[in-house]
């Protein structure tokens, strides 16, 4: 093969160089072809053979008679090989032939006189061609050492690589990784919330079944660009800016979703983004159920407490035999309650809002707070089903905050004024209290989530109000004078709904 030819070529160059050197030696030039010349040439040739570690150095005269040979018995005999003719025609070359000592690579170089004009003989240098087995045998210790070094290096590299890979995989075994992956897929697919995640190249890495159902996507979308599947997706913006968004309303076809988006960070570097969302209809349904239950429980509790007090009053008047006063008291209570109920039923067409106002009115009486509902209030039924839940959140939290602000105020200052007025396509809400007011340095923080002057685990009501108003597309305005009271004004576009 290629390596064998290269090896033989190297041997040929070496033999040719030795033959050239010998052909230029004056002792050989002057004694070849002369009687007794072998006595001078043989020692020189043998010394060169031993020093250069070649198999033979043979000097021939023009009659092909040997003047040197490793086996002295061949000195004086005629050289035979069949490949020497060109050398006697003044050519130098390398050939491969079968000689007396075996197959060899041999170099032929003409011997010329000092003037270089007359050829007087030929130098033949031969190097036996080793077999592959002989070559391997000669270098076996180098091979053994190379194998040992390679084996040790491979073992060390394998140990280091295995440790590095295991460290990268949080010291988990392959079967543990497979189990965690299966659990992760099962959890993601069983969630009712839609989950979509992308990598830094904006390609989808997670798209669970709930997301497909809500958005209306079918088939395998993993690995596809997010903008190819959802052209108006805002996940790439989140992955680029690193800004999280909470409960933002987004239109999807004829419906809408409430979505939160978060950047995915690994060691402080953004590597993607994830979105969690659910159908707004489901959110409204749950909110209305929760709001309805809370209102019902609160109304029952307040009414029970209020009517128990009234029954005690009536019982006391009867025991004192103040029968007429007892009758007047019953009619007064009945008339007051009936008047408010009739007003709310006539002017506030949304039953959730009317029920909320009725419950808060009873709650205010229990707290000895004078809640005045503007008799000029008027509100039509909202155009879209389910839109009253955000309105209940806004109005309920504003009234509750106003009543809490009056807890430590004297009786003459415990007043709250509430007004709802619908004008064309906007609903204007006003809630005003006569409480202590909000300090100026706090007013710009009052809508921040978690900020409160009432202690820990508070500060979510007004943040929720602000978020709900923003999602609706409205705006909220705060007016407060420290020591005089606070007014919240909310303006909502009811023509387009929430």
Tell me the per-residue pLDDT of 99-109, one tens digit each, with 9 for 90 and over.
Answer: 666 678 889 99
Crossing angle for the helix pair 323-347 and 280-319, to the nearest 10 degrees: 160
pLDDT in tens, 402-412: 998 898 899 98
The CATH number of domain 174-278 is 3.40.640.10: no
pTM: 0.43
Domain 2-135, CATH homologous superfamily name and number = PAS domain (3.30.450.20)
Neighbours of 149 (CB within 10 A): 10
Distance of CA 299 to the CA centre of its chain: 50
Give yes or no for a contact between 426 and 493, defined as CB atoms under 8 angstroms apart: yes
* pLDDT for 282: 64
Name the percent of the chain lying above pLDDT 90. Answer: 35
pLDDT in tens, 12-39: 899 999 999 999 999 999 999 999 999 9
pLDDT in tens, 151-176: 999 899 888 888 888 777 777 777 88
Structurally, at CATH architecture level, domain 335-493 sits in 2-Layer Sandwich (3.30)
Name the percent of the chain lying above pLDDT 70. Answer: 83
* pLDDT for 377: 92
Q: How far is CA 172 from CA 158, 175, 180, 185, 188, in A?
A: 17, 8, 10, 18, 21
Q: Is 417 exposed, middle or buried (0-12, 13-18, 19+ CB in 10 A)?
A: middle
Nearest to 124 by CA among 94, 102, 82: 94
Distance CA 472, CA 493 (A): 8
């Amino acid at each position: 093969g290629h390596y064998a030819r290269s090896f033989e070529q190297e041997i040929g160059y070496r033999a040719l160089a030795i033959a050239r050197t010998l052909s230029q030696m004056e002792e050989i030039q002057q004694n070849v072809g002369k009687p007794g010349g072998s006595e001078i040439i043989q020692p020189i040739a043998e010394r060169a053979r031993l020093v250069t570690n070649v198999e033979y150095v043979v000097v021939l005269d023009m009659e092909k008679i040997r003047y040197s040979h490793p086996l002295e018995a061949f000195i004086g005999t005629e050289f035979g090989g069949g490949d020497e003719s060109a050398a006697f025609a003044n050519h130098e070359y390398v050939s491969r032939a079968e000689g007396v000592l075996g197959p060899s690579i041999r170099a032929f170089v003409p011997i010329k006189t000092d003037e270089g004009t007359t050829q007087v003989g030929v130098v033949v240098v031969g190097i036996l061609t080793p077999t592959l087995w002989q070559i391997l045998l000669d270098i076996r210790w180098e091979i053994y050492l190379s194998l040992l070094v390679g084996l040790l290096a491979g073992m060390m590299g394998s140990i280091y690589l295995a440790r590095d890979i295991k460290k990268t995989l949080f010291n988990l075994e392959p079967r543990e990784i497979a189990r965690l992956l299966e659990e992760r897929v099962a959890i993601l697919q069983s969630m009712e919330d839609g989950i979509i995640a992308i990598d830094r190249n904006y390609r989808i890495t997670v798209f669970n079944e709930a997301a497909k159902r809500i958005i209306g996507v079918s088939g395998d979308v993993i690995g596809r660009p997010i903008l190819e599947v959802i052209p108006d997706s805002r996940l790439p913006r989140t992955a680029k800016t690193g800004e999280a968004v909470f409960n933002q309303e987004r239109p999807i076809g004829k419906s809408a979703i409430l979505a939160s988006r978060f950047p995915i960070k690994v060691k402080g570097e953004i590597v993607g983004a994830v979105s969690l969302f659910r159908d707004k209809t489901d959110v409204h349904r749950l909110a209305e159920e929760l709001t309805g239950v809370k209102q019902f429980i609160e109304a029952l509790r307040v009414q029970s407490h209020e009517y128990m007090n009234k029954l005690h009053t009536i019982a006391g008047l009867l025991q004192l035999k103040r029968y007429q006063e007892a009758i007047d008291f019953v009619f007064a209570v009945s008339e007051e309650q009936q008047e408010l109920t009739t007003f709310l039923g006539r002017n506030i067409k949304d039953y959730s809002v009317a029920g909320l106002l009725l419950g808060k009115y009873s709650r205010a009486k229990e707290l000895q707070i004078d809640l005045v509902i503007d008799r000029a209030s008027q509100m039509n039924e909202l155009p879209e089903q389910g839109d009253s839940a955000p309105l209940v959140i806004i109005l309920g939290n504003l009234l509750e905050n106003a009543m809490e602000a009056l807890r430590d105020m004297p009786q003459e200052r415990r007043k709250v004024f509430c007004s709802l007025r619908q004008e064309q396509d906007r609903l204007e809400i006003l809630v005003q209290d006569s409480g202590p007011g909000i300090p100026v340095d706090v007013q710009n923080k009052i809508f921040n989530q978690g900020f409160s002057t009432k202690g820990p685990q508070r500060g979510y009501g007004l943040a929720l109000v602000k978020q709900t108003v923003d999602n609706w597309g409205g705006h909220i305005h705060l007016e407060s004078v420290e020591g005089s009271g606070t007014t919240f004004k909310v303006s909502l576009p009811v023509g387009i709904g929430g």
